[in-house]
Structure 1
């Protein structure tokens, strides 16, 4: 079961790309202590200014200690402060050259549609980069292994996560897997009761606190099914009933871009990774199943 914001060291660290740093900070912030969060938010919001600071300077700027600065760098995926500082310098250079837009753009009511397109495209890119940096491939590998060998896969998602749950289910069905998506909380629970060892239950909730998703996952967990949570909050309540947690990042929210919009992008990336992994593992059956579905659809539109 996942623990609070694990530190990473040496070659095994994430070492996220500079452009993914802000997304990683957003994802980890709720699980960080107040002092760690101050340092993390400072480097994400002002990469150029922080890149010019020594570890002592950044500690003074954030009202923390040198040890806290070093620990923050490790929590964010860098072996030490020097590596984080290099990433900040790279991000600052990209922004100054125009190759990486500033991370503080918001969509305003009076923005032109051209500006909206550019800002949304930038936010989507940041979300995808952040999710890729946050996603624990060992957890993903374990989830893929379970789903590839499952007798049945049940997926729970409500609200904005509902269509994502449907997307995963439809993909699995096209490669011959037995899968069901549940947005009705009562049906989700009554179906979860039927699960057991050899089955997989997947809960999709950005907040990790959606009761209508947590309850069926809890039932599936207690019945012995392998459980997977796709969430932007790895320390949230849903994680206590998840054997494997797949973490997503989100773009920065604004009045015209709520979390429901930004979270969906990261969720869909994780769903696609999970599906492709299962298709690879079961290709002998998945390949003909996909070919048959393409043929059936092509025949329907002739």
Structure 2
């Protein structure tokens, strides 16, 4: 990372603050470093959510980038006017953002608010002035200002219909075309709605390069085998991972990157099993565990 980019990331890092709903603090020690294969993927969940950063905010993303994660994991939502914003929940109050405008908020749901109204919500990053959820293009601008040349993006498609997938993909394609295909080789799209990934592959696979990750709460091998037609990554809730299922999935030539793993002891277990990466609220602990001390 160049000096200006590192400076930007660290500046945003220093401006961050506590989040409304703290993530449980890990109780197990990191212990001795463990060796991982080349290409092991350290993913910062919603940025660096565990270390007192409001998730899906610019400071959370910048903090994770500054410490040297391989991938930023983030979520997208769609406003009433069809603009894409970063956010885990449609309801801003669920993630600790509060209305800072005059009178009562017209709604707390991104899907019922326009850009100007969303701009009146404060997500409490303790940066001077109101800090609303960032728009997708603002997030991507900040990402490319601070990210290393190989840092990836893992963006979750949250959708109610294929029309939502159209909005997400068209916004990403527009940005990619405007930056001379800067997303090429970096973009992962994930979803619990596997049909969204199948739709994205079928309708936009020729327009933008991406890998697809199926978010999994069931762990049914037959379903995973079927998804291999359009997805390259199996991303299960971490208790689903067993040595047997992991071997079956990797035999399909799929990567296994479980979520959301915050206890170092469990990180160690999964690495020993042979997972290809881990999504965590505490990327600093994972980096320590694999012998990659967070970048100062």
| TM-score (normalizing by structure 1) | 0.31
| TM-score (normalizing by structure 2) | 0.31
The structure with the largest strand share of the pair is: 2
Structure possessing the higher radius of gyration over alpha carbons: 1
